[in-house]
Amino acid sequence: MDQGDAPRRCRDTDCDEILRGLEASQKRLPSKFFYDERGSALFDRICELPEYYVTRTERAIMQAHAGEMAQMLGENVRLVEFGSGSSVKTRLLLDRLDTAAYIPVDISSEHLHRTARELAQTYPTLPIQPLVADFTEPLLLPEESSESRSTAVYFPGSTLGNFEPAPATALLRNIRALVGNDGGLLIGADLQKDQRELEAAYDDAAGVTAEFNLNLLAHLNRDYGATFQLDAFKHLARYNTRHGRIEMHLVAQAAHDFTIFGERFSMRADETIHTENSYKYTLESLSALACASGFAPGRTWTDPAQRFVVQWWRGRKQSQCMAQAA
């Protein structure tokens, strides 16, 4: 098979990321390829699982404090959401926010546009401008309206934890440039906790997370002409105590060959493809990350057990950054 045989021509950056990852001694695939139409639907199911505390904990924080968050964001704000998905938690903000425009950004076109249509029915006077894009790359936002006074990015869930420290800082610096001195970032992050609770959240009894992980290979088969045999792999989630992160892997159950973009790869039995990290933070490490990215930590909202946190980071000069959140 040569590259032209793939059902869809991939962008050069996608091809390069996939091939470099598979050629590495520890094979890896970018987690963004989870999110085709089916993957996005599976992730919505994960968010409702009893083991997956992240979504319900963050939702409870938003329900309790969305009014205060809206005050921090200010009037006539242009709200940009990274990895918007179904925009469920965002509605809690939009109900309280004086919004000049809402720009949901997601890599899954079908999911994004369906959600945008649903939101337009609920908020008929709100300009909704869906943007299909990979938010890890520079974004070209729609033209700003004259009513907009500032730009704020909403980055919910625990998506920040999917990035290793250097790429996380680079992404946050891009956000800092996007919002300028007058805007800011409302960000969610998962906090460190018991290892058993963490591993259960990423390896649920119903097997939905395993299906989600395996769908990454199915996505590459469907859209990029890969030849992975899904039944040759099994899902693995484990907590890496050294790095303070959950790791998701796909484990080859037997020796396995596959091709993609005309390249052939071989895997040994028990060899893995590393598909996702989910770093877990402390309040102190988040404040340090904000400062390293050019933000000044502002307000912090968390649940009584401190399982999850939502923070407001202000766009300010680096010299104004505080060591601790106010």
- pLDDT tens readout for residues 272-309: 999 999 999 999 999 999 999 999 998 999 999 999 99
CA distance 238 to 50: 18
Is the predicted pLDDT of residue 320 greater than 70, yes or no? no
Is the predicted pLDDT of residue 4 greater than 80, yes or no? no
CA distance 152 to 277: 26
Is the predicted pLDDT of residue 324 greater than 70, yes or no? no
In the chain, % of residues over pLDDT 70? 93
Is the predicted pLDDT of residue 16 greater than 60, yes or no? yes
Q: What is the mean pLDDT of the chain?
A: 90
Report field, pTM of the whole predicted structure over 0.85:
yes
- pLDDT tens readout for residues 93-150: 999 998 889 999 998 888 889 999 999 999 999 999 999 998 988 888 888 776 778 9
pLDDT for the residue 317: 58
Question: Are residues 201 and 52 in contact, defined by beta-carbon separation less than 8 angstroms?
Answer: yes
Dihedral class, residue 157 (left if φ above 0, else alpha if ψ from -120 to 50, else beta): left
**CATH homologous superfamily, domain 53-193+281-320:** Vaccinia Virus protein VP39 (3.40.50.150)
Q: Domain-by-domain residue ranges, the chain? A: 3-29+196-279, 53-193+281-320
